[in-house]
Amino acid sequence: MPVSFLEIRVAFGQSIIHLICYIPQTIMAANRRSFLSKLTLGASALLWTPFQGLGKIFGSDDSNPDANKKSVLGMKALGFQWDTLDPFLFCVHHEDYFPNGNDQMAPDPKHHVGRHLGDDFIIKDGFRMYHGKSVPGFPGHPHRGFETVTVVRKGIVDHADSLGAAGRYGNGDVQWMTAGGGVQHSEMFPLIKKDQDNPLELFQIWLNLPKKNKMVDAHFKMLWNDSIPNYQHTDANGKKTTVEVIAGKLDTHKAPSPPPNSWASEVNNHIAIWNITLEPGATWTLPKSVEGVNRMLYFYEGEQITIAGETIPKYHEIRVDPTHDLTIANPDHESQILMLQGRPIGEPVIQYGPFVMNTKEEINKAFQDYHDTKFGGWPWPRTDQVHDRERGRFAKHADGRLEEKG
């Protein structure tokens, strides 16, 4: 298949990262410049940043052996997309203040003025439409070769996919989806409330799959908010720290099991996704992990904290030494920190838009398979599928199993 490539080869820890900036010519033909091509071009540009060599981004000095003894290895201001370390590929923080919804669970069309509908990533009136043209969100699009972990802090997400599965989740729920060999899904943000605003806050995290699991069957699992353990610590001054254990284990608190083919399913990979909330004036010690894992902290809510005695300004990411206990001190505002941790996979990574594989040939095959099969097609009447306004939280799985949460 004829292909035009601009390939960038970057040493990234134990991995070699390849970024490809053109797609197969057969897919790029003028009559096929569809939502998929726009999505892949945009995502390819976004995913350039994390792979620039994080030691340089964070300002670490490999020539200084004493630098490796520090607890805080570096920090950097956060943007829309956050830098990640192997085995994580991507993390983005969505925070939108959507208005009340109309009969279609969409913003009033007056909000469309001045927007580039279908590709709206600039905040206007407090929110973005993303790829949605009526309801905000991400209409049907494909993935292969990795996992998405969608952590919804507030608001509602409607899911539909090419396997016939569907769901509605939010307000503390987490969806963990293994794309594996290929799936199309949509992630829409219905504005369910007619008489008040519909704020949304979520993290979407991409977790890589090792080569042996890149072509497993697609699968998703719900981690409902009442199944996610909350660790609590009260310090000597009576101030509380709460940790939502989404993945991994903290003290006696163990997260729900991840999907069976996930890198997180192997305990020795030490995958941890924790959301940490410190009351004003609280102090807590983040326990050390083991040598050989990567650990990143994202200080996304609050004014200022100290970690191991170093002052961290608001909205910063911090790379830390996983073998050190870290004392986190929070002054006079509530603070929240997301932690991503895991043992690196250490395999070559070639990413193009919605596909993450190990070789260029596998990327070509992913595009060809999607072109030929649409990963099972789209069984829904709309690519921006939303569920009935009155429907509560639920998950309908591909095997017909139904979870109703109300």
Does residue 96 carry a pLDDT above 90? yes
pLDDT band at 387 (very low <50, low <70, confident <90, very high): very high
391: three-class secondary structure by DSSP: coil
Bridge partner list, 164: none
For 267-294, give the DSSP string: GGG--EEEEEEE-TT-EEEEPP--TT-E
Does residue 134 carry a pLDDT above 90? yes
What mean pLDDT do residues 120-132 have? 97
How far from 67 is each of 55, 64, 74, 320, CA to CA, in Å?
Answer: 11, 6, 10, 11
388: its two tokens = 């009935």
What span, in angstroms and rounded, lies between the C-alpha atoms of 237 and 92?
A: 34
What confidence tens digit (pLDDT) does each residue in 211-269 have?
A: 999 999 999 999 999 999 999 999 999 999 999 999 999 999 999 999 999 999 999 99
Domain spans of the chain, in order of start: 7-52+347-376, 88-226, 228-342
**Nearest partner of 284 among 292, 293, 294, 274, judged by Cα:** 274
Give the CATH H-level superfamily of domain 88-226.
Jelly Rolls (2.60.120.10)
Protein fold of 228-342:
Jelly Rolls (2.60.120)
What mean pLDDT do residues 65-78 have? 80
What span, in angstroms and rounded, lies between the C-alpha atoms of 87 and 264?
A: 10
**Nearest partner of 180 among 375, 24, 345, 341, judged by Cα:** 375
Does residue 48 carry a pLDDT above 80? no
What mean pLDDT do residues 354-372 have? 97
Instruction: Report the chain's C-alpha Rg in angstroms.
Output: 21
- Torsion angles phi and psi, residue 30, rounded to 5: -55, -35
How far from 1 is each of 22, 35, 152, 242, CA to CA, in Å?
Answer: 13, 21, 40, 53
How far from 134 is each of 5, 123, 293, CA to CA, in Å?
Answer: 34, 16, 43
What span, in angstroms and rounded, lies between the C-alpha atoms of 133 and 118?
A: 5
